[in-house]
Amino acid sequence: MNVASTHPILATRDILGVPVLAATAGEAVAAIEARLARGERIKLAFLNAHTSNLAAADDGFRTLLGDFTVLNDGVGVDLASRVLHGERFPENLNGTDFTPRLLAESKRPLRLFLLGARPGVADEAAAALLRLAPQHTIAGTRHGYFAPSEATAVAAEIAAAKPDVLLVALGNPGQERFIQAQFDRLGVPLAIGVGALFDFLAGRVSRAPGWVRGLRAEWLYRLWREPKRLWRRYVLGNFKFISRLLWARAARRRMPASAPLA
């Protein structure tokens, strides 16, 4: 049976200028696998309130995200879906949970390359990923602290390792920019911008307890752990995001209803 033909094309929802896939985790995994099986190459990113704000402030970044398959991450983007489209996203698909799930569910053995985080972290994250998804192998790892002038050489090093999946943890928007700029050189079928995933997998940064995640308040936990670094992103950033959302809703209400066709 041809898997690709059994999965309908999933719809996207515009979230403040960025099209975001509306799917459950299972549907998203199936759709990605089907597209890869058809020989498509995929760039995957996750949109949360912070990345949405970055996209609003930078046309280049917003345009670039249009070339990515974008999944919804967090309560802010979910609220935006409810306000702008009248319904929530089917499931929260943050990269920290979705990426390991995608790899764990992929039966075909894959070669993984992990790029990013501080020296040593990607190796520990790779070992943790193999415990979750032992069918795969590691094509290589590399830390994420290199000068922009080294990006092409880093991409060539990754291409030489011939991975099937590249995980890029350089923070936003650096990781998406790297994937976009180097995609042809990399040649990899699937590249994913994964944020702080390696730090979590390596146990360098602790995740919120399950009940906090259940309340969709992981960002509050992260803010509590790293207030100095993150207050601007979460406190100011969330205020900015909500303001943009209310503005978009007000603008929509001001738009005249379309006239019926004669």
From the list 108, 88, 101, the residue with the least C-alpha distance to 26 is: 101
* Residue closest to ligand UDP, measured at CB: 144
Window of 39-47, 131-139, 170-178, 252-260 that interacts with ligand UDP by CB under 6 A: 170-178
Token pair in block for residue 256:
């005249």
Token pair in block for residue 180:
């976009």
Q: Is 74 in the site for ligand UDP (CB under 6 A)?
A: no
Match 């319904």 to its residue by tokens.
87
Q: Which residues of 73-98 are buried (b: 16+ CB within 10 A; e: fewer)?
A: bbbbbbbbbeebeeebbbbbbbbbbb
Q: CA-CA distance, 240 to 233, in Å (whole number)?
A: 10
Q: Is 93 in the site for ligand UDP (CB under 6 A)?
A: no
Taking a C-beta distance cutoff of 8 angstroms, is the pair 89, 83 a contact? no
Nearer to ligand UDP, 68 or 198 (CB): 198
Contact map string, positions 193 to 232, toward ligand UDP, x by CB under 6 A:
--xx-xx---------------------------------
Alpha-carbon distances of 57 from 17, 62, 236, 244, 245, rounded to whole Å = 11, 9, 14, 11, 14
Nearer to ligand UDP, 31 or 200 (CB): 200
Q: Is 144 in the site for ligand UDP (CB under 6 A)?
A: yes
Nearer to ligand UDP, 35 or 113 (CB): 113
Q: Is 170 in the site for ligand UDP (CB under 6 A)?
A: yes
User: Among 69, 72, 92, 172, which residue interacts with ligand UDP (rule: CB under 6 A)?
Assistant: 172
Binding positions for ligand UDP, rule: CB under 6 A: 116-118, 144-145, 169-172, 174, 195-196, 198-199
